[in-house]
Amino acid sequence: MSTAMPYGGWFAERPIATGSTSTLVRLAGWMAFAGVAFAGIGTGGELLPEHLQQSAKGAQHLTRATEVAETKVSRTPSESLLRIREILNPAVSDLAVTLNVSRQSIYNWLNGEPVAEENAAKLHDLAQAADVLAHEGIPISVSLLKRKFANGRTLLQVAQAGGSARDAALTLIQIHKRETAQRERMNARFTTRAKTPASADFDLPASNDLS
């Protein structure tokens, strides 16, 4: 993979902060495990091995996603931009608004022109968000990018406000998986529900309705 070369506005490649340490990541995973386990027990319930097994799967999945976000990937700003377009595929105008630049600036960056350090950091963060979503297999769509979930903000709006798009992506993954599980439970209920056969007079009025 290529590295940034000092030229004009380019700056030397150096590690960009990627959040908490791996120790904190593991701690967060175990906290998530405990929270899910006790939430699944219910009031007055008993902690059974089944609860621990089911909750451990969810906690491990969340921890793996977090560890992907913690991975330091050395990219030039142009490479980060290409990754964002590959996975998130936002409109150029939306990306320009996110970075507070013109559309022409985006095209210039794609052509290898220098990127200001602040915008390079945002591109790096958005590329990491794309990495996390791609790793978890979250389907990317226009509606997903326009969904407001982080204090009333979309993923791009979080980045625009100076927040961590990577952390917002982790939150979005949790929401997506929770909603998917809810839909699967609902579908399972309807699938297993016994169907009542229709009688020959099912569409006739009741006897007390006849006059």
pLDDT tens for 12-25 read: 333 444 444 344 44
Residue of higher predicted confidence among 46 and 182: 182
Domain assignment present for residue 128? The answer is yes
Alpha-carbon separation of residue 208 from 33, 201, 203, 205 (angstroms): 58, 15, 14, 8
- How far is Cα 88 from Cα 69, in angstroms, rounded to an integer? 16
In a domain? residue 8: no
Position 74 scores a pLDDT of 86
* Strand-pair partners of 153: 150
Higher pLDDT, 200 or 59: 200
How many other CB atoms are found less than 10 A from the CB of residue 96?
17
Residue 156: Cβ-neighbour burial (10 angstroms; 0-12, 13-18, 19+): buried
Cα(207)–Cα(201) distance, rounded to whole angstroms?
11
Domain span holding position 129: 75-190
User: Does residue 39 fall inside a structural domain?
Assistant: no
Domains contained in the chain, number:
1
Within a domain: 177? yes
**Does residue 158 lie in a domain region?**
yes
The CA dihedral of 109, 113, 117, 118, to the nearest 10 degrees, is: -30
Query: What are the pLDDT digits (tens) for 5-53?
Result: 433 333 333 344 444 434 444 444 444 444 444 444 444 445 444 444 5
Per-residue tokens: 188: 């399972």
Has residue 21 been placed in a domain? no
Residue 144 domain flag: yes
pLDDT given at position 153:
96
Rounded Cα distance between 177 and 58, Å, is 10
Please compute the mean of the pLDDT values over residues 112-122 and round it to a whole number. 95
Domain contains 156 = yes
Q: In one letter, which amino acid is 137?
A: G
